[in-house]
Amino acid sequence: MIYLDNGATSFHKPPEVAQAMLRAMRTCANPGRGGHRPAMEAAKVVLRCRERAAQLFQCQPEQVVFTGNCTQGLNTAIRSLVKPGSRVVISGFEHNAVTRPLHALGARVSVAGRKLFSPEDTLECWETALKKGVDAAVFTHMSNVFGYILPMQEMAALCRQYGVPFVIDAAQSAGVLPVSLEETGAAYIAMPGHKGLLGPQGTGLLLCGQMPEPLLYGGTGSLSACREMPDFLPDRGEAGTLNVPGIAGLEAGMAWLQEKGQSQILARQKKQVTVCTDVLTRMGVRVFSGPCQSGTLSIVPSMDCEEAAAEFSRRGIALRAGLHCAPLAHESAGTHQTGTLRISFGHDACPMQTARFLEAAKEVLQK
């Protein structure tokens, strides 16, 4: 199987990830809930992951809150900043994990910057929206559909300039591009543990620049006599038992990334995207590519994109088709009716994957 669906989740993770999870299942009990050895071992595993994440994303370990996925982190962040009727600006490439919580809250949402691969347009529209006055801003660092890398630093700087608290959705960029809570000054940065960070599904991180409103209420192992949730991090955001085996795996994934070097992985991914773009374009396929692009590429095949994905699957190539839970991004790019077929490279991007994909593409897309 040639796996090119890393935008959904990374696969073929480093073996150290599963090994760490198995070790945790054999040795760890509930962290922060007892003083016996398995409980303390679990606490050690959790702190190790918190510290590694803090190092990778430039914040204090206490600012790292474990979540079940990026969506949970985004919901926590959005509910902390946005109230019914709040004016919120978002980019034109947001995922449903951003748009649905905003809709559910009854926020007044404006969309700024819809041109693909145009940081100039994104920034111009972003500033115009901020100037008009908003209560909060939420933006993705990287489009999950098109791989467009938004100008995060500049967008963050504009938010700071206009005094607007903001949330960064780092679902696709964490583990691929540098992300810093300290540098951006974000109120919150949410990310999954199971994509670029190479941890298992069911893990995520919320980096907190501010004190969040809890999404879940319950036991934290601290201040147990109080009816209120603790007013300190990370406990305020971590009600209930943590996914310790998942966190152990996430730590192993991040350690692997740090050892191999994120920038080298991204360079390999980009190279494969360039090759795919060249060949597919020559084949007459509609390809979305641009200068600020990561290791993700979307195309519109001449046949239905789901049928195309099924054809690729029959040939041992795993791709994702459809709207990718991001209808807004498709509206922005004009692909809402057709959807796209997405090729997203991962930490193991290599020429062999590209060659196998293109070989299949010649059969499927030129039918």
Partner 1 sequence: MNNCLITFRSVTPAQRGEGVLRRAGMDCALQRTPRWMEEQGCGYSLRLRQVDGARAAALLRRNGISFRKVYLQGENFLEELSV
Q: Which residues bind partner 1 (CB under 8 A)?
A: 31-32, 34-35, 40, 43-44, 47, 50, 60-62, 220-226, 230, 232, 234-235
**Count of CB atoms situated within 10 Å of the CB of 284:** 10
Rounded to an integer, what distance in angstroms lies between the CA atom of residue 262 and that of residue 124?
A: 30
Q: What is the 3-state secondary structure (H, E, C) of the chain?
A: CEECECCCCCCCCCHHHHHHHHHHHHHCCCCCCCCCHHHHHHHHHHHHHHHHHHHHCCCCHHHEEEECCHHHHHHHHHHHHCCCCCEEEEECCCCHHHHHHHHHHCCEEEEECCCCCCHHHHHHHHHHHHHHCCCEEEEECECCCCCEECCHHHHHHHHHHCCCCEEEECCCCECCECCCHHHHCCCEEEEECCCCCCCCCCCEEEEECCCCCCCCCCCCCCCCCCCCCCCCCCHHHCCCCCCHHHHHHHHHHHHHHHHHCHHHHHHHHHHHHHHHHHHHHHCCCEEECCCCECCEEEEECCCCHHHHHHHHHHCCEECEEECCCCHHHHHHHCCCCCCEEEEECCCCCCHHHHHHHHHHHHHHHCC
Tell me whether residue 44 or residue 362 sits nearer to partner 1 (CB atom).
Answer: 44
Residue 149: beta bridge partners? 142
Q: Residues 203, 247: contact at Cβ < 8 Å?
A: yes
CB of 56 to partner 1, least distance (A): 17
CB of 248 to partner 1, least distance (A): 16
Residue 142: beta bridge partners? 149
Tell me whether residue 68 or residue 234 sits nearer to partner 1 (CB atom).
Answer: 234
Tell me whether residue 163 or residue 225 sits nearer to partner 1 (CB atom).
Answer: 225
Tokens of 65: 């809150």
Tell me whether residue 32 or residue 214 sits nearer to partner 1 (CB atom).
Answer: 32
CB of 191 to partner 1, least distance (A): 20
CB of 220 to partner 1, least distance (A): 7
Tell me whether residue 232 or residue 260 sits nearer to partner 1 (CB atom).
Answer: 232
Tokens of 221: 């192992």
CB of 81 to partner 1, least distance (A): 24
CB of 58 to partner 1, least distance (A): 15
CB of 287 to partner 1, least distance (A): 47
Tell me whether residue 211 or residue 223 sits nearer to partner 1 (CB atom).
Answer: 223
Tell me whether residue 230 or residue 253 sits nearer to partner 1 (CB atom).
Answer: 230
Tell me whether residue 233 or residue 318 sits nearer to partner 1 (CB atom).
Answer: 233
CB of 37 to partner 1, least distance (A): 12
Rounded to an integer, what distance in angstroms lies between the CA atom of residue 3 and that of residue 276?
A: 15
Tell me whether residue 49 or residue 300 sits nearer to partner 1 (CB atom).
Answer: 49
Tell me whether residue 57 or residue 126 sits nearer to partner 1 (CB atom).
Answer: 57
CB of 256 to partner 1, least distance (A): 23
Tokens of 135: 């209560």
CB of 20 to partner 1, least distance (A): 18
